[in-house]
Amino acid sequence: MRIGILTGGGDCPGLNAVIRAVVRKGIGEHGDEIVGFRDGWRGVLESDTVTMDLAAVRGILPRGGTVLGTSRTNPYALDGGPERAMENLRTLGIDALVPIGGEDTLGVATKLAESGMRVVGVPKTIDNDLDGTDYTFGFDTAVGVAMEAIDRLHTTGDSHHRTLVVEVMGRHAGWIALHAGMAGGANVILIPEKPFDVDAVVKHCQHRFASGYSPILVVSEGAKPKDGDLMLSTGERDAFGHVRLGGIGAALASLIEERTGREARAVVLGHIQRGGTPSPFDRVLATRFGLAAVDAVHDGQSGVMVALRGTDIVRVPLSAATAELKLVPPERYSEAEVFFG
Ligand code: F6P
């Protein structure tokens, strides 16, 4: 078979592990030809391909980023985009496509599958917000990076008797903030799913100062106050219409400084959470997803996504995985609240 593979959306630790697994299993067990598309859907729209043979994947397992490159190109936002994508895939003789991506990339994949392309998706995102899978690869690495930062910030914050606000990624889901904050012993965790009360946040900070330590707050980039809107540093949007988040950390730090009368600083972790080598968990999960995607293709499946349920890799309909975001449920947030203040 001729299997196309692409990586779309924000890069994510573990992408290369999936690519390697698809190539190793596809070629090694089935004699497939693997065609890589450069920069996500852009490569499909422009027939920009690279042959992915065994040599192309040697040594890439521990590497961050993606050897195929990525973009946020959306064929459905372009005139004649979907038709061109389908035509190019046909001309290149692609029998099946394995897109590795989050809600946007897999949203496009869902529609192409409905148009007749054989598609098996692989869920990736540091945000862990894809429905249908317990975890996406990349999330564990991002949480590890954020936790280490929080550990380091505890000691410098305490030494200077100042509040530190750590802004983490996650878009409209608070998974990274919740897990990194819990693992790092944050005094307050703020997530998009639960608009926060500024007075309560200030009280937690004062309580922490009163105990002789300095507060560490973890705030998700999409968190917003109860009686306000998103605090953004830019108004830019990408090809899928997502607004660029960021700015809540700085806004919150100046509010806390004003209300507590003590210095407060914001630390934005940004792309550090996405770059670099994947954790062992993500390497294994990404590898298992890649292997399972090849199995699904050879079983004649289409319109499905490989997913983690407990410790098993299963197949779920792509449409179900991309219909709604997987958000932090209130009971998970309540667990973290026990440690606030
Ligand atoms: O979806 C992954 C993610 O890192 C989000 O957490 C973040 O909001 C977004 O991508 C940032 O995108 P970019 O760095 O491509 O602008």
Cα four-point dihedral sign 278, 281, 286, 288: positive
The protein residue with its alpha carbon nearest to ligand 1, atom 13, reads 10
Mutation test residue for ligand 1: of 100, 124, 169, 178, the one with most atoms within 8 Å of CB: 169
pLDDT of residue 233: 74
Across the range 103-126, mean pLDDT stands at: 96
| Among protein residues, the one whose CA lies closest to atom 14 of ligand 1 | 10
**Cα of 293 from ligand 1 centre, angstroms:** 25
Q: How confident is the model at residue 184 (pLDDT cuts 50, 70, 90)?
A: very high
Comparing 56 with 242, the larger pLDDT belongs to 56
User: Is the pLDDT assigned to residue 108 strictly greater than 80?
Assistant: yes
Can you tell me which atom of ligand 1 is nearest the CA of 273? Answer: 4
Q: Which of 11-15, 213-217, 229-233, 329-333 has the lowest mean pLDDT?
A: 229-233
Cα dihedral: 293, 295, 297, 299 (round 10)? -150
pLDDT exceeds cutoff 90 at 227? no
- 193-207: pLDDT as tens digits: 999 999 999 999 999
- pLDDT of 112 reads 97
Give me the chain's average pLDDT, please. 96
Residue 28 has pLDDT above 80, yes or no: yes
CA 184 remoteness from chain centre: 20
- Please pick, among 32, 39, 104, 127, the residue that the annotation labels catalytic: 127
Q: 156 pLDDT band (50/70/90 cuts)?
A: very high
Helix (H) or strand (E) holding 200: helix 198-210
Cβ contacts of 330 within 8 Å, gap of 6 or more: 193, 194
Residue with tokens 């707050």: 217
The confidence score (pLDDT) of residue 67 equals 98
What does the pLDDT average to over 16-23?
Answer: 98
Q: How far is the C-alpha of 119 from the C-alpha of 213, rounded, in Å? A: 53
127 is catalytic: yes
CA of 148 to the centre of ligand 1 (A): 20
CA of 12 to the centre of ligand 1 (A): 10
Residue bearing the CA closest to ligand 1, atom 2 = 10
Measured in Å, residue 274 CA sits from the centre of ligand 1 at 9
Task: Return the pLDDT at 232.
Answer: 75
**Averaged over 14-28, what is the pLDDT?**
98
Relative to beta strand 304-309, strand 312-317 is antiparallel
| In contact, 137 and 327? CB cutoff 8 Å | no
Q: For residue 137, what is the DSSP state?
A: B
**Contact by Cβ (8 Å): 22, 97:** no
Ligand 1 in reach of 205 Cβ (< 6 A): no
pLDDT at residue number 196? 97
Instruction: Calculate what percentage of the chain has a pLDDT beyond 70.
Output: 100
- Mean pLDDT within 112-126: 97
Provide mean pLDDT across the span 217-221: 98
Asked if residues 173 and 130 have their Cβ atoms less than 8 Å apart, the reply is: no
> Of all atoms in ligand 1, which is nearest to the CA of residue 170?
6
* pTM over 0.85, yes/no: yes
Structure tokens at 148: 């280490």
The pair of three-digit structure tokens given for residue 159, joined into one six-digit string: 């030494």
239 against 128, higher pLDDT: 128
- In the chain the domains, ranked by start, together with CATH numbers, are 2-138+278-321 (3.40.50.450), 139-275 (3.40.50.460)
Classified as helix, coil or strand, 125 is: coil
Q: Give residue 238's pLDDT.
A: 87
pLDDT at residue 236 greater than cutoff 90: no
At 260-304, the pLDDT tens digits run 999 999 999 999 999 999 999 999 999 999 999 999 999 999 999
Q: Residue 235 pLDDT > 80, yes or no?
A: no
Q: Please, are residues 174 and 220 in contact by the beta-carbon 8 Å criterion?
A: yes
Residue 212 vs residues 184, 202, 218, 241, 281: alpha-carbon distances, Å: 18, 16, 19, 45, 37
pLDDT of residue 182: 98
Give the tens place of pLDDT for each residue, 32-44: 999 999 999 999 9
Q: Is any ligand 1 atom within 6 A of the Cβ of residue 192?
A: no
Where residue 49 falls among pLDDT bands split at 50, 70, 90?
A: very high
Tell whether the model's pLDDT for residue 210 goes beyond 80: yes
Instruction: Give me the mean pLDDT over the 77-92 stretch.
Output: 97
Residue 234 has a pLDDT of 79
Tokens linked to 70: 């990525």
Nearest alpha carbon, ligand 1 atom 15: 10
